[in-house]
Structure 1
């Protein structure tokens, strides 16, 4: 009688073939946001539990199959949304935005309080066409320097222009005509306040590590308020934030930051103006696919992480907290596992084209503008479609933040950014050729002209010019065009550029500063997605809950305390004559409620990213995912 053979008696080559067939899933694994676990993606597109039965037959089989499924199956992550987490996601974004604004404010120093400094802070959010009507384009550029950062809103500027005979304005004009040195001495407390946390030594030390940030520090040292500028000076936001934080770190080491600054509410209990307002909780606020991947990988034991071979991040919707920077959190995993390959797919229509352009450090995320576009039935000059004026800034932001990964340590072969045209690849090809590549050529032309014909213009004027998008953007576009399979790729046909930089440069040489600054505005268009995509309005509506469009009056009889939850330094609140008369007792109650909410929301915002105790997963490596 022949001996009875068992599975383990089969040759190892045959067993390995069986294992491979057993664990291979046609569409790979997908991360289930609700459960925090991986699932198999069936041929019908539905998630199914991963079959671990074979590896549980015995210890030998488990050891032989260890991590095999992670090697052969790609791991797919998409943007994560749930009713449970959407409010926390919104709060988390706004706290992040406020941190960035507060950090720059620390460099600036305490702002002087005056009757003139009562702007509502919305000047930078206005349609550039409106500001063009009120001032010439050249004045718009130069006023960035001349205003010395007072932060006046456009409405206030109009009032001042209409009231030229006002005595106070007359006095100010007379002061400006006096001797410069005397003017600086007598009016420095009113017009220019040098930051206490910036010294020449600190500026030089920061410049050694971040040379591109030196001109901005020099502007700050002159007393210009950079917190009110509507742009980021062309710097990649990641590098600007790093430079700001490094400057503050040096100032703290030298005890140059006043003690009371270090204990402001926005440091001890982070918040942002607008917490508690209804509009912050009625959007579909999502976590990026990259954020979910970081959370998952951080919880996965190192032994299993080393088996990973391919991760696909599907950024298929707008997400919170500067998602363009989130891939930075993946660098350490790529260094740890050189065999890991990560592709980050960006849905242009549902993500990039709708995302914040980051032209301001403190961008709120409340979908108010989107709602107004969707519900506006009038014949608005704004148009109902995708606005070309902000389009390139958004694309440039994602591209340049991806390229910023390389100097931060990302292995070049480990990561790829994929611009995905989705169901409208031809339209994306057209948009890139007619708008994105054009704007890249215009920036290159402006840089040449600015270095020659406008060499005497200030750094601020050159960088706030509307044709200057971001450092290195023209070069990045040329690199994409010349290497279609490089670090940044497209799923659509990226056609050769039809815009010749030399010809555009000659055109710029025949334009005044104001005329060249107006080019993007003069050539703006509004685009509609082609079929089978929904209309632009319907695409925007996908990110907003249905109840956002209904009538939502505040319950009668209740005091609207939202204004008090915004912060005690809210000038708009102080100037609003219609604010309710709240007793000291009620006000104290509201302020306590504000502090409690800030702490609660801070905890909830970070709760999503809490990591499990590594010891709790040590005994369950095989099924921890």
Structure 2
């Protein structure tokens, strides 16, 4: 009598086994990536249960890659980064700042007479061919251009001014410097121009006005001193420009190890203690962007969720395993370093090789778009100094910040994320591989009010553009952007598509209806569009826009004050430095 095989799991139909695998592997909250360990875990930091895969070879083969196909993979910024992660991310942010300071200084100085010969028509032609969107800006950089808009030179290196993705403008900057640097004499002329420029800059400690023969003699003496090749200031600046302009710039979504970061700093002759201060010192500036001395040590620096996904996960797995991932959610719920809006560029290669992969990026508008890191003039140190030294009521101070420019702040910050996302397809992101969600938690009703401010900014931008119908392309490029109302060319249409539900960008709160720019235009028809010298002027629009913000102040809900959000980005009081001679207590930020 023949023996019949005993019934078991593998004798079940494959469709039924797949259903069992799915129920066994499925985690309602998906998998979460732990940056510290570099591993995936279940919710609550539980280990992923894969015991069934180890029962036999046949089951392991059938379940191969099913965990990643079954579950959404979540990446988040660290709520409380470790000391090592915080130190590396802070210094990496300052290293990126060091590179940017060099680019800004070089492009600002390129308008100086001694450097104009290097901005040849051939250089302009190559730049305009590769980056046509910035061709009007080149008109104001060219040697023949009159100084009709002196502030253009000051704003030359600031990406957000010109209404294009920051990553695109940084690439434009780098390409311009690359072309200028093909001339062997450019660096030497750049250093000399930098030093001589400071003699004419009233903000510089080297400023030397000429009012009589004696002051002229002192100026010539200073001129000779600065250009003496043996003098330390010239050597420092030469070293700064040579290292920054010639070194290979790291991608902003990189997460370097400590060893890699030390090597990056060595490549540009940087001290690892406080690179931001070092960069400012070499340029002769007085106040480092991230605070004097070591105040930057009190801030919770973090890497973005996109950077963690691109570097620490996808690069650590095989191409075959990568193709098994179906859905990734990037929770940008805390401010992070390294131009976070552009970090998703690092994920494009993985989306190209895995067409079934979809990346959803969720950006919290309260903790990211309204981050103190993004608010000009109200950085964390300024807030701490103000509260501790003046003892002003926290609620009053928070309201003052909101009243001062909430519309401009939220629209500018939102625009940077939207502009970068809108440019992904041109950089190779496959269709349907990416979506962006503006996350209004934990105050969706108040988030709708914030979005109303974005729609107001769009109406003002469109109205201002309609008010300049006869301007030439180059004049229009400068005039509209100099008013600080213009955000970017794609912003109005992007907001329109979000409201109509036809965009890959969405909100998890009601978006309402669009504002009519004709009402804004009619309200401002009295504005003069040209100044006394006949130049296009946006100052009238800027003043009107600021007055509009004052008449319609934005109030934070009690549980989401601006200062409370700022306090979340500071370390506990035992780590805080002395501010104005007093310890910064946590109670100051409650």
The two structures have a TM-score, normalised by structure 1, of: 0.68
**More helix by percentage:** 2
- Within the alignment, does 1:537 sit opposite 2:563 as a pair? yes
Tell me, in whole angstroms, the C-alpha distance in 1 between the residues paired with 2:556 and 2:108. 43
**Which range moves more in the overlay, 343-352 or 8-17?**
8-17
Instruction: Tell me what 1:60 maps to.
Output: 58
1:412-468 Cα deviation digits (max 9, x unpaired): 3010010011021111112222x2111111111111212338999564333211221
Instruction: Tell me what 1:393 maps to.
Output: 412
For the structure 1 residues 459 and 385, does the alpha-carbon distance in structure 2 shift closer, same or farther, using more than 3 Å as the test? closer
Instruction: Tell me what 1:423 maps to.
Output: 442
Instruction: Tell me what 1:502 maps to.
Output: 518
- Within the alignment, does 1:352 sit opposite 2:369 as a pair? yes
Tell me, in whole angstroms, the C-alpha distance in 1 between the residues paired with 2:557 and 2:496. 27
Is the Cα–Cα contact under 8 Å of residues 364 and 438 in structure 2 kept in the other structure? yes
For the structure 1 residues 258 and 69, does the alpha-carbon distance in structure 2 shift closer, same or farther, using more than 3 Å as the test? same
Instruction: Tell me what 2:508 maps to.
Output: 491
State the 1:357 CA deviation.
4.5
Instruction: Tell me what 2:154 maps to.
Output: 228
Tell me, in whole angstroms, the C-alpha distance in 1 between the residues paired with 2:239 and 2:134. 23
For the structure 1 residues 17 and 256, does the alpha-carbon distance in structure 2 shift closer, same or farther, using more than 3 Å as the test? farther
Instruction: Tell me what 2:479 maps to.
Output: 461
Q: How does 1:287-326 map to 2 (within 5 A)?
A: 287-295=303-311, 296-326=313-343
Is the Cα–Cα contact under 8 Å of residues 429 and 493 in structure 1 kept in the other structure? yes
Instruction: Tell me what 1:93 maps to.
Output: 93
For the structure 1 residues 518 and 419, does the alpha-carbon distance in structure 2 shift closer, same or farther, using more than 3 Å as the test? same
Secondary structure of 2:360's aligned partner: strand
Tell me, in whole angstroms, the C-alpha distance in 2 between the residues paired with 1:538 and 1:358. 14
For the structure 1 residues 480 and 374, does the alpha-carbon distance in structure 2 shift closer, same or farther, using more than 3 Å as the test? farther
Tell me, in whole angstroms, the C-alpha distance in 1 between the residues paired with 2:316 and 2:473. 53
For the structure 1 residues 198 and 225, does the alpha-carbon distance in structure 2 shift closer, same or farther, using more than 3 Å as the test? farther
**Which range moves more in the overlay, 78-87 or 262-271?**
262-271
State the 1:10 CA deviation.
2.9
State the 1:528 CA deviation.
3.7
1:517-554 Cα deviation digits (max 9, x unpaired): 212321225534325x3432112100001226563689
Give the counterpart of 1:79 among 77, 80, 85.
77
Secondary structure of 1:284's aligned partner: coil
Give the counterpart of 1:241 among 155, 160, 170.
170
Structure 2: gaps spanning 5 or more residues: 189-237, 248-267, 281-287, 530-538, 582-590
Instruction: Tell me what 1:8 maps to.
Output: 10
Secondary structure of 1:313's aligned partner: strand
The two structures have a TM-score, normalised by structure 2, of: 0.72
Give the counterpart of 2:37 among 11, 18, 35.
35
Secondary structure of 2:488's aligned partner: coil
Is the Cα–Cα contact under 8 Å of residues 424 and 529 in structure 1 kept in the other structure? no
Is the Cα–Cα contact under 8 Å of residues 115 and 186 in structure 2 kept in the other structure? no
Give the counterpart of 2:381 among 359, 365, 368.
368
| Aligned pairs, number | 464
Is the Cα–Cα contact under 8 Å of residues 102 and 241 in structure 2 kept in the other structure? no
Secondary structure of 2:361's aligned partner: strand
**Which range moves more in the overlay, 240-249 or 543-552?**
543-552
Instruction: Tell me what 1:199 maps to.
Output: 120
Is the Cα–Cα contact under 8 Å of residues 329 and 359 in structure 2 kept in the other structure? yes
Is the Cα–Cα contact under 8 Å of residues 345 and 420 in structure 1 kept in the other structure? yes
State the 1:402 CA deviation.
1.2
Is the Cα–Cα contact under 8 Å of residues 283 and 366 in structure 1 kept in the other structure? no
Is the Cα–Cα contact under 8 Å of residues 87 and 280 in structure 1 kept in the other structure? no
Identify which of structures 1 and 2 has the higher relative contact order when contacts are C-alpha pairs closer than 8 Å and 6+ apart. 1
1:118-151 Cα deviation digits (max 9, x unpaired): xxxxxxxxxxxxxxxxxxxxxxxxxxxxxxx8xx
Q: How does 1:73-472 map to 2 (within 5 A)?
A: 73-80=71-78, 81-109=81-109, 192-195=113-116, 197-221=118-142, 222=145, 226=152, 228-229=154-155, 232-253=161-182, 255=184, 257-258=186-187, 264-266=242-244, 267=247, 268-269=268-269, 271-272=275-276, 273=280, 274=288, 277-295=293-311, 296-354=313-371, 356-357=373-374, 367-372=380-385, 375=388, 377-378=391-392, 383-386=399-402, 387-388=405-406, 389-433=408-452, 435-452=453-470, 459-472=477-490
For the structure 1 residues 453 and 330, does the alpha-carbon distance in structure 2 shift closer, same or farther, using more than 3 Å as the test? closer
State the 1:510 CA deviation.
1.8
Is the Cα–Cα contact under 8 Å of residues 72 and 328 in structure 2 kept in the other structure? yes
Is the Cα–Cα contact under 8 Å of residues 305 and 330 in structure 2 kept in the other structure? yes
Measured on the aligned residues, the alpha-carbon RMSD in Å equals: 3.0
1:282-334 Cα deviation digits (max 9, x unpaired): 11111111011011111111111000000001111111111111111111111
For the structure 1 residues 510 and 54, does the alpha-carbon distance in structure 2 shift closer, same or farther, using more than 3 Å as the test? same
For the structure 1 residues 458 and 342, does the alpha-carbon distance in structure 2 shift closer, same or farther, using more than 3 Å as the test? closer
State the 1:202 CA deviation.
1.3
State the 1:5 CA deviation.
3.5
Tell me, in whole angstroms, the C-alpha distance in 1 between the residues paired with 2:401 and 2:86. 27
Secondary structure of 1:317's aligned partner: coil
State the 1:70 CA deviation.
0.3
Secondary structure of 1:232's aligned partner: helix
Is the Cα–Cα contact under 8 Å of residues 466 and 518 in structure 1 kept in the other structure? no
Is the Cα–Cα contact under 8 Å of residues 86 and 300 in structure 2 kept in the other structure? yes
Is the Cα–Cα contact under 8 Å of residues 303 and 336 in structure 2 kept in the other structure? yes
The list of structure 1 runs, each at least 4 consecutive aligned residues, that deviate by more than 6 angstroms after superposition, is 379-382, 453-456
For the structure 1 residues 244 and 540, does the alpha-carbon distance in structure 2 shift closer, same or farther, using more than 3 Å as the test? same
